[in-house]
Amino acid sequence: MADAGEPEGPERKDDIVKAKQEGKELTKEEKQRLRKEKKQQKKSKEKKDDKPSRDSEKEKKPASAASPAPQTPTQPPAQKAPSAAPAPVPVPASETPSAADKPAKSKAELKAERRARQEAERASKGKKGDVGPQAAPGKPKAPPSELQPVVKRLPEHVQVDNPEVLKKLAKKLERQQTPEYNAATKIPLRSDYGYKVSLFSHLHQYSRKAPLTQQLGIPSTVIHPAIVRLGLQYSQGIVAGSNARSVALLHAFKQVIRDYTTPPNEELSRDLVNRLKPYISFLNQCRPLSASMGNAIKYIKKEISNIPSQCKEEEAKRKLLNCIDCYINEKIVLAAKAIAKYSIEKISDGDVILVYGCSSLVNHILCEAFEKNRKFRVIVVDSRPRLEGREALRRLVQKGINCTYVLISAVSYILPEVSKVFLGAHALLANGYVMSRVGTSQIALVAKAFNVPVLVCCETYKFCERVQTDSFVSNELDDPDDLIVTRTGTTQLEHWQEVPSLGLLNLVYDVTPPDFVDLVITDLGMIPCTSVPVVLRVKNVDQ
């Protein structure tokens, strides 16, 4: 909804007047719009100086309106400058110093310029007609009913090969700095690395040798140091695993809240949310956010905006820290205990259990079952290049569990011995598909062919409303250089970038269809894979 979805100033004022006259209850929206207006006016004052680029803007605007408008993850209250106003990306750094040198224009001239721009925009909008679901649901103005096909909006992180989207992302990162700071402390845009396989060219591919933190100035005044450290830990793979990443994120946010002071004339509930936005963009650049992290962030934002305005700062901070602790305790720690309780019923003596990779939850379950004196043995399946199974193997053997270790290529060989398969999940999608480490769907498929029951263990906070039927549309590409070194240490692929027809693909996730999964164990109980939307519905009703 970033693209010209905003009715311009004078129109909006009419709407508000109309609403007041009609006596409609639009106070919240009015406030939002007035706030937006204020921000836009501020911004348009800043960007008065890019007159030469304005014409190119107008040309670009219809072109970008035609392409599917990206959905910026940050929502309306913060910023929706009309696309005619913001500066073009290609020369952001060089422009702003030069802009500061230009003399300020007189007020009348600025007004005339603004009016001319708005007219031009309105003309181009009228030509284009209804650009899909642009009109936000709350606005009283109905979109013109032309027979344009509804444009589906894709998230920006799966449109990496669309240069318009990249420009918008860079613009967004610029905008997220608070106005007092200059361009040197803005959030950098991380660039892609290496040749991408064409089927996945719509995704980001970063190199671990170029972490985002190298491009940040010292001291970075925009991003809190705890968040910088977290971002580095994510991008280097030091903190990995869905639960670990969410817990680390929540702890970093706790530190941010502790160090936060409300600026004068601002409300904690609004300002803190705005503070968090650049942090989240930064973390997203370091490593794409997982579904569990997304849900945690949504929860925190909700809690922050629910703080009553008369609440004192100390008390508000204490409340928020308490909320976060509760969330971690309930959704992760206690959920693991509940899931272990249900899973132990399904583990009988003499079982041979197959696990893949390193899932903190599955390891916890097996350790608990072993402590309750169940007699079973475990087969750990591992795969390159992460070799996470070794970590799982280490933890299980330490407890004294009888383990076997194989690589994923041997899975069809050992499956006849196996009685059950336990898998962890990164997220559970609304159509019942399980998103997990790459290789999981392969194991589920082979297990199904051998009629071995497949059990997925997942906490409810990892359930997400997205729908996906294949692993291409939305995924994560890891550093391709990880594939260069083999087990024996040979590096035959070291000069892969020089071979023009060679691409290295290091996928991180894949999706497993619900027909391959027999049972999902959650903290609410044992449900079939097709009942995930029921749980989502029940959860939404609770909230």
Partner 1 sequence: MMEPKYQNLVEYFRAQMRKDPDMASAVAAIRTLLEFLKRDKGETILGLRESLKWATDCLTGEDSSVAVSSGGELFLRFISLTSLEHQDLSRCKKVMEERGELFLEKISMSRTKVAKLCHTFIKDGAKILTHSYSRVVLRVLEKAAAEKKRFSVYVTESQPDSAGRQMAEALRKLNVPVTVVLDAAVGYVLEKVDLVIVGAEGVVESGGIINKIGTYQMAVCSKAHNKPFYVVAESFKFVRLYPLNQQDVPDKFKYKADTLKTVQNLSEEHPMIDYTPPSLITLLFTDLGVLTPSAVSDELIKLYL
Task: Show the DSSP H helices in 306-438 as ranges.
Answer: 313-328, 335-346, 360-371, 389-399, 411-414
Residue 528 binds to partner 1 (criterion: CB under 8 A): yes
Of positions 39, 128, 139, 346, contacts partner 1 by CB under 8 A: 346
**C-alpha 499, offset from chain centre:** 33
Of residues 210, 352, 406, 526, which one binds partner 1 by CB under 8 A? 526
Q: Which of residues 415-434 bind partner 1 (CB under 8 A)?
A: 420
Each residue 449-478 as x (binds partner 1 by CB under 8 A) or -, in order, gives: ----x-x-----------------------
Q: How far is the CB of 447 from partner 1 (least distance, A)?
A: 12
Comparing CB distances to partner 1, the nearer of 465 and 515 is 515
Q: Does 538 bind partner 1 (CB under 8 A)?
A: yes
Q: Which residues, numbered 185-224, are part of the site for partner 1 (CB under 8 A)? A: none
Region of 206-214, 216-224, 266-274, 528-536 interacting with partner 1 (CB under 8 A): 528-536
d(CA 517, CA 425): 12
Least CB distance to partner 1 at residue 209 (A): 46
- Which positions from 476 to 515 touch partner 1 by CB under 8 A, shown as an x/- string? ---------------------------------------x
What DSSP element (H or E) covers 354?
A: strand 351-356
Number of residues that bind partner 1 (CB under 8 A): 16
- Residue 530 touching partner 1 (CB under 8 A): yes
Shortest distance, CB of residue 518 to partner 1, whole angstroms?
Answer: 6
DSSP states of 101-153: HSPPPPHHHHHHHHHHHHHHHHHHHHHH---STTS-TT-SSPPP---PPPPPP
∠ CA 430-461-459, rounded to 5°? 95
Is 527 one of the binding residues for partner 1 (CB under 8 A)?
yes
Q: How far is the CB of 349 from partner 1 (least distance, A)?
A: 12
| Closest listed residue to residue 435, CA positions, set 398, 405, 410, 472 | 472
Piece in contact with partner 1 (CB under 8 A), picked from 207-215, 354-362, 466-474, 525-533 = 525-533
CB 536 within 8 A of CB 463: yes
- Span of 18-26, 207-215, 280-288, 530-538 interacting with partner 1 by CB under 8 A: 530-538
CB of 283 or CB of 415, closer to partner 1: 415
Does 519 interact with partner 1 (rule: CB under 8 A)?
Answer: yes
| Site map (CB under 8 A) of partner 1, residues 89-128, x = contact | ----------------------------------------
Is 343 an interacting residue with respect to partner 1 (CB under 8 A)?
A: no
Rounded least distance, CB 365 to partner 1, Å: 15
The residue range among 172-180, 375-383, 408-416, 518-526 that interacts with partner 1, by the rule CB under 8 A, is: 518-526
Query: Smallest distance, Å, CB 348 to partner 1?
Result: 8
**Contacts with 132 (C-beta within 8 Å, 6 or more apart), sequence order:** 69, 148, 149, 150, 151, 152, 153
On the question of a cis peptide bond just before residue 385, with omega within 30 degrees of 0, the verdict is yes
Among the listed ranges 156-164, 221-229, 309-317, 532-540, the one in contact with partner 1 (CB under 8 A) is: 532-540
CA pair distance 282, 204, nearest whole angstrom: 14
Q: Which residue stretch of 116-124, 437-445, 467-475, 517-525 sits at the interface with partner 1 (rule: CB under 8 A)?
A: 517-525
Q: Which stretch binds partner 1 (CB under 8 A): 81-89, 215-223, 359-367, 524-532?
A: 524-532
Q: Any idea which residue has 């579904």 for tokens?
A: 291
Which is it for the CA torsion 314, 315, 319, 325, positive or negative? positive
Q: Does residue 456 contact residue 519 with C-beta atoms inside 8 Å? A: yes
Angle value at C-alpha 171, between 150 and 262, nearest 5 degrees = 110
Would you say 280 or 428 has its CB closer to partner 1?
A: 428
Half-sphere exposure of 294 (CA within 13 A, CB side): 15
Nearer to partner 1, 279 or 463 (CB): 463
CA atoms in the 13 A half-sphere facing the CB of 10: 6
518 binds partner 1 (CB under 8 A): yes
What is the smallest separation between the CB atom of 74 and partner 1, expressed in angstroms? 35
Nearer of residues 185 and 431 to partner 1, judged by Cβ:
431
- Nearer Cβ to partner 1, position 36 or 420? 420
Q: How far is the CB of 467 from partner 1 (least distance, A)?
A: 16
DSSP 47: G
Asked if residue 448 binds partner 1 (CB under 8 A), the reply is no
Of 256 and 532, nearer to partner 1 (C-beta) is 532
* Neighbouring C-beta atoms of residue 388, cutoff 10 Å: 17
Dist CA 208 CA 185 (whole Å)? 22
The two tokens of residue 309 are: 């305005």
Q: Which residues contact 98 (CB under 8 A, 6 or more apart)?
A: none
Percent helix, strand and coil across the chain, each rounded to 5? 50, 10, 40
Residue 339: closest CA among 367, 379, 358, 297: 367
Residues lying near partner 1 in the complex (CB under 8 A) are found at 346, 420, 453, 455, 515, 518-519, 524, 526-528, 530-531, 534-535, 538
